Amino acid sequence: MKKILSVYVVAYLILLSTILGMLYVYPKLELHLMLNSHHTGIQDTFFPYFSILAEGPLYILALLPMLWKKFRLTLFFALCELSAGTILQVLKHIISHPRPVSAFEEYSDAVLPVVQGVDLHHSNSFPSGHASTFFVFCTCCVLLLAYRYGQRVRQNSQESCILPCVLALLLVAFAALGAYSRIYLSQHFLSDVCVGSIIGVVTPLLMFYFFGQKILKLGAESRHVPQTE
């Protein structure tokens, strides 16, 4: 379990360190233009739909385990998302930073790249709720993937962890792409998605740490393997 989780966390920390470095070196508006200045027709079509995953489809995917009576899986995601969402809404209304479209109105020389058909928001930019949802979902998936792998290793010590580790890396990339979609659509700054991602990663880890014993009861739901003499 620790190997898979370590791969995910280390990959995220590398990504986070890169982002923090960029935030330190470049001014906020200049950095946004750097990250959002290369639009193509394919990306203009792809990112609006990809970003919408955090507005419903990911929640539907979290309900799928209920079809196999794995109610605790869905409950775990719901608790993580509810906790992260509460933190986000409190920060959004306390800090109340303007969105990119509002921030760039003060600079007539700067042209903000936008995607036609996308309704731009003007307030409560910090932090990004979409980025948080993407990372909450992917972190929950990694935690449960790592746990299930740990169960299988106890039954078969020769079980390879290569595929689960690759999946962990893909989940980091998936969440990062979802977070970047908010920058591409000029709905958020990099700092917004950065903090949103931190909330999205830390919240499930803490929830699993404090409520892990109940989540680990999932083992009782797995099929019993009869022992042979």
> Backbone dihedral region of 188: left (phi > 0), alpha (psi from -120 to 50 degrees) or beta?
beta
Three-state SS string over 54-66 comes to: HHCHHHHHHHHHH
CB atoms within 10 A of CB 86: 11
Tally DSSP H helices, then E strands, for the chain. 9, 0
Q: What residue segments make up the domains of the chain, in order of their start? A: 2-115+124-219
What pLDDT does residue 159 have?
A: 64
User: DSSP letter string over 146-198?
Assistant: HHHHHHHHHH-TT---HHHHHHHHHHHHHHHHHHHHHHHTTSS-HHHHHHHHH
- The span from the CA of 97 to the CA of 122, in Å, is 9
pLDDT for 180 beyond 90 = yes
Is 163 in contact with 116 (CB distance < 8 Å)? no
Q: In which band, very low, low, confident or very high, does the pLDDT at 73 lie, cut at 50, 70 and 90?
A: confident
pLDDT in tens, 100-138: 999 888 776 778 888 988 999 999 999 999 999 999 999
Chain CA centroid to CA 10, Å = 15
Its pTM surpasses 0.85: yes
Q: If you search the block for the tokens 């979609």, which residue do you land on? A: 181
